[in-house]
Amino acid sequence: MSQGTGLKPEITEDEEIEYDEEFTSPYRIPTEIPPDFYDKLVNGDDEVENGGEEIEYDEEFTRPYKIPTEIPPDYYDNVETEDDEPVDSIFAEKQQRLLVDCLINSWNINRPFAAMSNVGLFYELATPPVVPDMLLSLDVKIPDNVMLKKNHSYFIWNYGKVPDVVIEVVSNRKGKENTRKKIIYQNIGIPVYVIFDPALFLKKGLLNVFKLIGSEYVAVDPGWFPEVRLGLKLWRGVYENMSSRWLRWCDMDGQLVPTGNELVHIKDQIALQEYQRAEQEYQRAERLAA
């Protein structure tokens, strides 16, 4: 998951634009791939404790968090809400979309909510955002004009609250989901934090869920979160033509919240059953009338 870079550096008119040879020479698909290329690309070279993650305890993570209230007039002109860093793996990208897809298309709840994936979560004015793979925030409304800079991301002070659930999908050993990000989410008061680690990079299990008790996270069962009237479960199946083990939303009884396509199929099945029942009643009436 890429992380935003905060405020943009000033660029002077005299700054030179560098064009490296790799950008100007004719492109050719590489054919000789080093044997350890994918190990270094995915896992990183650092062999430190906690699955390749160094624990960082900066002041911003330990002091009591307060939502900023005084926003400088030019803040949104200078803040950077997008970057050109690469996105996650194909699986992670689909997993993020699956978690949002179900809620947007099928979740029956009479409350406004925002379900987003890979969107910057800004919590301090002068601090780069954290970028969760998925966030769910109840009782908020996404602004109508999302093209305005102040509506590009989830600025906590604009929405008036922190998200209710944040989910991270681990795709390498560099994301610091179980250290730095966990400390940030705990400190700013995210009620539920979920880490899904399908490849077991962190060596802490497939699914870890934490609930904020007081000011600290406590590990809990992922089955049901009464605060948002949703639960989570692992499901093996096919989503967007990819068969895998996915993290899915479910109701109190463990029934999956369907995706948009699944909901269409369910409605088609119900319509077919109703048609068949009506056809049987018609034929029965015809026989009685004969």
Q: From CA 51, how far away is CA 195, in angstroms rounded?
A: 14
pLDDT at 288: 72
SS3 for 101?
helix
Q: What is the DSSP string of 26-76?
A: PP-------TTHHHHHHH-S---HHHH------HHHHSPP-------TTHH
Tell me the domain boundaries of the chain.
Answer: 56-254, 259-290
- Number of Cβ within 10 Å of residue 82's Cβ equals 12
Give the per-residue pLDDT at 35.
Answer: 82
Residues of the chain with pLDDT under 50: 2-23, 42-57, 272
CA–CA separation, 166 and 175 (whole Å): 14
Element (H, E) at 244: strand 242-250
What are 106's two structure tokens? 């099928």
The continuous run of DSSP H or E covering 120 comes out as none
Task: Give the dihedral of Cα atoms 253, 216, 56, 89; nearest 10 deg.
Answer: 10
The pTM (predicted TM-score) of the whole model is: 0.73
Topology classification of domain 56-254: tt1808, chain A (3.90.1570)
Helix H or strand E encompassing 259: none
